[in-house]
Amino acid sequence: MIEKNIEIPVRIFSFQELPNSYQELIEQAKEQTRKAYAPYSKFQVGAAVLLDDGTIVCGSNQENAAYPSGLCAERVAMFSANALYPDKKVKALAIAAFTDGGFLQTPITPCGACRQVLLETESRFGQELEIIMYGEKEIYLIKKASHLLPLNFSNKNLFK
């Protein structure tokens, strides 16, 4: 038997330590939480995607009484960016969550389905995608989607 440990590099920042473009991306994600449709969970998530030309595309979570029919903010934003600007590479994604009258103190992380979509976007454009996860006390920055999903399923698994 062989045992391997998988380590995930996470950089932790305060808001002021981030570049201006990432501060703006976080502000856009925070603003998107107000546009979330979350009548059931009351957990409002906003996401903002930064494209390589500086364009920002946003999204928020959209719930549904038939729970599996809803969609996370990350996928709303990413699918919108890929549909509206199919030839523009994605540089970064910022995520923020608001509940019980305030933003989360610790960073929110993408669910498994969103991680798979982020990985596919990275593969699609052949470029790493930085993920910025906002928390009031600290902000996590992951340099590439594959760090969020180290044992992943990708197009490499589809062919011999």
Q: Who's near 130: CB < 8 A, 6+ residues apart?
A: 91, 92, 93, 141, 142, 143, 144
Nearest to 100 by CA among 38, 157, 53, 7: 38
Say whether 130 is catalytic: no
74, 120, 130, 136: which one is catalytic?
Answer: 74
| 69 neighbors 93 (Cβ within 8 angstroms) | no
Between the CA of residue 143 and those of 25, 69, 108, what are the distances in Å? 16, 30, 16
The pair of three-digit structure tokens given for residue 125, joined into one six-digit string: 């454009």
Contact 99, 42 (CB under 8 A): yes
Could you list the active site residues? 74
